[in-house]
A and B are shown apart, each in its own frame.
Chain A
Amino acid sequence: MILGYRLQRRLDADARRSAIYRISGAVAGLLVSGLFLLVTGRNPVTILADSFEAVFGSKRGIEGVAVQSIPILMCAIGVSLSLRMKVWNIGSDGQFLAGAFVACGIGINVDLPAGVLLPLMMLGSLIGGAIWILVPAAARAHWGVNEIITSLLLNFVAVQLVVWASLGFWRDTTSMVTQSTRSVPFTLPRIPGFDSVSIAFFVPLILALALWVVFRSTKVGYEIDIIGGNPRAASFAGINVPRRVIIVMLTSGAIAGLGGVLQLTGAPGAQALNGGGFSRAYGLSGFIVAALAGASFLGVLVAGLFLSSMFYAGIALQTKGLSVYIIFAIYGMVLIGVAIGETASRYRLYRSVAEMSGPVDLETVTSGAAS
């Protein structure tokens, strides 16, 4: 008698179950990370306590999280938008940098009053982010080229472009800093009562709510979800799928690009592109947030603030001898946990006595004795 556990694919996709599994996966990832910290001679409980202290212990901590959350959320929202269509935009880091790059170029080279210059820079960042995903989008829409590889690789190109600008053609020759462009001439106003959080903080919040409404109530949102669910059915319904794919992907890139200008003009001490350090892998964080939230725009806000807290704690704990790369390692664990959870939510575990060993005849399962 063969006793054993078997997996059976579930027939239905339940959003709530999927969310629970993903969150459990994230928690499991954190626990495994804790185990690794333990093995390397650090006390994960202390680190957790320190993290809490760093984030929630002071106004500075809260502000720090809010500052980090802006670029992370902008990238996450961009990724989520394309994820609604089952398109994996892994290049939001590149789009974020491209947006910042164009905005910086405008900001330091065009001499206009701030009231005109800022909208111009924003427009430029949108275009920059969109251009950075144009080739992956067109290739995906028309030739079915996998966007994961193309969008990912362009990240590296964007980093080099920014490094080049800050070492070369836009370098700030008046400063002692060797790797920095000249600074854009202004910063966004702070939210009253805060020292470092600019009004840019509201942009991702408003954007996420707006997109939530789009997918709840509009024709466009419905069409994008249909494409995500089954592109052939979308064509059947008369939707121009390649065109929609391109538009959504460009919008996804543009949102990350807008994140770039918000960072450039809003983050404390940014104002210039400084080599490879301008984006602290915000695209990566954004991607994890989008995966964790399962492309839900309200979920993105929750997951984004959670990850931003983790990220900020990581930065704060550097003073205690922890490297920021540990945070990236923990990110990896969380992402793996989420991915496993996502997959697991689509299966059911059976304790079986050698039943279900063959392909399950779904027709029989569903309508077996019903007739």
Chain B
Amino acid sequence: MTDSQHTTSVEVRDVVKSFGGVLALEHVNLEFRVGEVHALLGENGAGKTTLSNILAGIYREESGHIFIGGVERSFHNPAQAIEAGVGMVHQHFRLVNSMSVAENLHLGSPDTPKIVSQRLLIDRARAMMADIGLTVDPEAKIWQLSVGEQQRVEILRVLARGARVLILDEPTAVLTAKEARELFVVMRRLAEGGRTVVFISHKLNEVLEVSDRITVLRGGRHVITREGAGVTARELARLMTGDEAGIEVAHREVRGDDVLVLDGVSARNSRGVEALHGVSFSVRSGEILGIAGVSGNGQTELAEVVTGLRRSDSGRVSIDGAAVTNTSSRRITDLGVGHIPEDRIGVGMVASAPLKDNAVLRHYRDPELSTRRLLKRDRVVEFARSLVEVGRVQTRSVHMPAGQLSGGNQQRLVARRESLLASRLLVAAHPTRGLDVLASKQVQEAIIERRDAGCAVMMISDDLDEILAVSDRILVMYEGRVMGVFNRADYDRERIGLMMGGRTEATS
């Protein structure tokens, strides 16, 4: 693609959108070109998803103009958008798991013949794939496919409907490093074939790797659009957040005592299938052990076994030398173990209950907060207020339901609460998932603060950047097994990435 020949495929002019009086997009202007991969970069709430939802016909702009291929359009529904050639692949797939790839490709398409047979659907699916240049076994059921393949089906489905503009909403959030690479190849190829690929992300490295041009949104406003070449991650981060982002962690060699020790631990997941196979490792006092891996490779079960929420079938777990294999979560908590759970809304808090009740969820038995039978209600409020203050939780009152807090504030609350419990061990599962840069930074700071105070930290994350930045050692998990452990000095992004995908050595 050269600068001289570009044509505009989508133009957004002065678009405004608000939700319940809160402006989500403020007079945004930008254009996407034919044949480019265009990244939309921004924090949560910057307006990237709102903008793409308007382009895809899910929301309607309040004012402003949208031109698709030079013609002004305004969509009432996604069908109109796709008819105009704009298709979107959402973060959460909209596929029917029990149906085949071919069936999913035909679902809801006006071009699907009225009378069909499996044979016909499969043949048509093959033809579509050949046309587009992307293949997935058309006979496979969706549930049999990897996440990357499922995503490819979603892309195929949009392209088969004739989309010339493909919007991908955080497409790499669910992929392994290797799958992400493959997706980038597909994105480049589609762009070179004359389509426009809009890539929504908040991961700087990926954006830099694949984009021709980059647009940064912040707080619903267009900050800048520029060529991808020549820009640095640091610059982009500054544009995204308005200030120097990223966390600087002082790492040091620690030789603390082992706090958490696992020896040959196996456990089953909720469906009864063994999800941890003889896992052994230890976490020392004053270090952060990062557990790297793609979600669903046993990390959830690992965190639950360690914190007493799940029974192990074999092996031993000890904390500070005390055997805690299959003991109650309460006893483990009493040993000074905090747990920032993966599903913070589903497990870590009670959305319908007031913030104050959530603040004391794990501390209410403390003699400071209750007698044998009675809750000291004033103390509970005091405790909640202090937690809100140190955790920088933004809220009007501690009496309002915790569910009304934004995601970032919920996590600030949970992270501080658990840090307070964690005198010996903090288990943090995906602590910054879904948070914007500022909230992530504060949550990470809370974790590092515990480490510096001599606490052992086991941090699970599927964001490799985060693991690399924060951890003092890294353990890679794949399919319930430990693939390898790296000391800070031997960090090798490529090798860690390969191990996350199941390879021990770089032989691809």
By a beta-carbon cutoff of 8 Å, the part of chain A in contact with chain B is 1-2, 11-13, 216-222, 225-226, 229-230, 232-238, 353-361, 363-371
- With A237-B361, A238-B328, A358-B53: A368-B22 Cβ-Cβ less than 8 Å: yes
B423-437 with Cβ < 8 A to chain A: 434, 436
Q: Mark B36-69, 1 if CB is under 8 A from A, else 0.
A: 0000000111110110010000111000000000
29 pairs, A vs B, C-beta closer than 8 Å: A2-B76, A11-B404, A13-B352, A13-B403, A217-B374, A218-B373, A218-B375, A219-B374, A222-B357, A225-B353, A226-B353, A229-B350, A229-B353, A230-B346, A230-B349, A233-B347, A233-B350, A233-B361, A236-B329, A237-B361, A238-B328, A238-B333, A355-B60, A364-B19, A365-B20, A367-B44, A368-B50, A369-B24, A371-B218
Instruction: Check: B225 CB closer than 8 A to any chain A CB.
Output: no
Query: Contacting chain A: which of B105-113, B148-156, B174-182, B362-370?
Result: B362-370
Asked whether, in the complex, the Cβ of B341 is within 8 Å of the Cβ of A236, the reply is: yes
CA–CA, A232 to B370, complex, Å? 22
B351-408 with Cβ < 8 A to chain A: 351-353, 357, 361-362, 364-365, 370, 373-375, 377, 400-401, 403-404, 406-408
CA–CA, A360 to B18, complex, Å? 12
Q: Mark B74-107, 1 if CB is under 8 A from A, else 0.
A: 0011100000000000000000000000000000
Contacts of A222 in B (CB 8 A): 357, 364, 375
B94 CB to closest chain A CB, in angstroms? Answer: 11
- With A12-B400, A12-B403, A230-B346: A361-B49 Cβ-Cβ less than 8 Å: yes
- With A218-B373, A355-B59: A364-B50 Cβ-Cβ less than 8 Å: yes
Asked whether, in the complex, the Cβ of A357 is within 8 Å of the Cβ of B77, the reply is: yes
CA–CA, A367 to B218, complex, Å? 12
Contacts of A219 in B (CB 8 A): 364-365, 370, 373-375
Asked whether, in the complex, the Cβ of A371 is within 8 Å of the Cβ of B46, the reply is: yes
| Complex partner residue of B23 from A1, A230, A354, A369, CB under 8 angstroms | A369
A66 CB to closest chain B CB, in angstroms? Answer: 33
B319 CB to closest chain A CB, in angstroms? Answer: 16
CA–CA, A357 to B43, complex, Å? 24
- With A217-B374, A238-B333, A368-B220: A226-B361 Cβ-Cβ less than 8 Å: yes
- With A2-B76, A226-B353, A363-B44: A232-B436 Cβ-Cβ less than 8 Å: no
Instruction: Check: B219 CB closer than 8 A to any chain A CB.
Output: yes
A339 CB to closest chain B CB, in angstroms? Answer: 18
Number of residues on chain B facing chain A (CB within 8 A): 58
CA–CA, A236 to B408, complex, Å? 21
CA–CA, A225 to B360, complex, Å? 13
Asked whether, in the complex, the Cβ of A369 is within 8 Å of the Cβ of B26, the reply is: yes
Contacts of A354 in B (CB 8 A): 60, 76-77
| Complex partner residue of B401 from A13, A353, A366, CB under 8 angstroms | A13
Asked whether, in the complex, the Cβ of B436 is within 8 Å of the Cβ of A236, the reply is: no
Asked whether, in the complex, the Cβ of A358 is within 8 Å of the Cβ of B58, the reply is: yes
By a beta-carbon cutoff of 8 Å, the part of chain B in contact with chain A is 18-20, 22-24, 26, 43-47, 49-50, 53, 58-60, 76-78, 218-220, 309, 328-330, 333, 339, 341, 346-353, 357, 361-362, 364-365, 370, 373-375, 377, 400-401, 403-404, 406-408, 434, 436
Contacts of A216 in B (CB 8 A): 377
Contacts of B53 in A (CB 8 A): 358, 361
- With A219-B373, A238-B329: A368-B400 Cβ-Cβ less than 8 Å: no
Asked whether, in the complex, the Cβ of A368 is within 8 Å of the Cβ of B59, the reply is: no
CA–CA, A12 to B406, complex, Å? 12
| Complex partner residue of A370 from B45, B339, B341, B400, CB under 8 angstroms | B45
Asked whether, in the complex, the Cβ of B309 is within 8 Å of the Cβ of A369, the reply is: no
Asked whether, in the complex, the Cβ of B18 is within 8 Å of the Cβ of A368, the reply is: yes
Chain A residue at smallest Cβ distance from B23: A369
Contacts of B76 in A (CB 8 A): 1-2, 354, 357
CA–CA, A16 to B370, complex, Å? 28
Chain A residue at smallest Cβ distance from B220: A369
CA–CA, A353 to B218, complex, Å? 27
Asked whether, in the complex, the Cβ of B406 is within 8 Å of the Cβ of A229, the reply is: no
| Complex partner residue of B329 from A221, A235, A360, CB under 8 angstroms | A235
CA–CA, A357 to B341, complex, Å? 33
CA–CA, A148 to B18, complex, Å? 43
CA–CA, A163 to B187, complex, Å? 76
| Complex partner residue of A353 from B45, B60, B333, B346, CB under 8 angstroms | B60
A147 CB to closest chain B CB, in angstroms? Answer: 20
Contacts of A232 in B (CB 8 A): 346-347
Asked whether, in the complex, the Cβ of A233 is within 8 Å of the Cβ of B44, the reply is: no
Contacts of A218 in B (CB 8 A): 373-375
Chain B residue at smallest Cβ distance from A8: B20
Asked whether, in the complex, the Cβ of B24 is within 8 Å of the Cβ of A364, the reply is: yes
Most buried by A among B45, B53, B329: B45
Asked whether, in the complex, the Cβ of B23 is within 8 Å of the Cβ of A368, the reply is: yes
